[in-house]
A = this chain, B = another copy of it.
Amino acid sequence: MSLAEPASLPDLRLELAPPDVEAPLAVAVLLADRNRATILAILREGPHCVCELAAALDERSNNVSNHLARLRDAGLVRAARPAADTRRVYYERDEAACTAALAQLNNLLEPIR
């Protein structure tokens, strides 16, 4: 294995430059909240409006609205008002953006080669 013991230990390498992790970090921060993660999971099945999500999460709708705004700003979900009742706002996942987000996490977690 890669931790096999050499006869002599290499010198300390204190000059390592930290790699840029901004993009995967931003995705992880978005997913690292139970309500946002659950919202993304629920929306896999199809679009839902804010009050449906709030009921499923047992959270106030303004709180859910805030989380949806975060996800929308990141591009992971889209909003649309149905013509039949323009009070409601239905949210659906942007699958392309979700796939792109997953690719960022891939960069962090997959082996180097």
Enumerate chain A interface residues (CB-CB to B < 8 A): 2-3, 5-9, 12-19, 21, 24-25, 28-29, 31-32, 34, 37-38, 40-42, 44-49, 51-53, 55-57, 78, 80, 82-85, 88, 90, 92, 95, 98-99, 101-102, 105-106, 108-112
Question: Residue on B with the closest CB to A49?
Answer: B12
Q: List 10 A-B contacts (CB under 8 A).
A: A3-B47, A9-B84, A15-B55, A18-B41, A18-B42, A21-B38, A25-B34, A28-B31, A29-B32, A31-B109
Closest to A102 in B: B109
Considering the chains assembled together, what is the distance between the CA atoms of A21 and B36 in angstroms? 10
Determine whether the beta carbon of B84 is less than 8 Å from that of A5: yes
- Given contacts A2-B46, A31-B32, A52-B13, whether A102 and B105 have CB atoms under 8 Å apart is yes
Q: A19-B42, A29-B32, A31-B25 are in contact. Are A14 and B105 (CB under 8 A)?
A: no
CB distance from A48 to the nearest CB of B (A): 7
User: Inside 8 A of A105's CB, which chain B residues have their CB?
Assistant: 31, 102, 105, 109
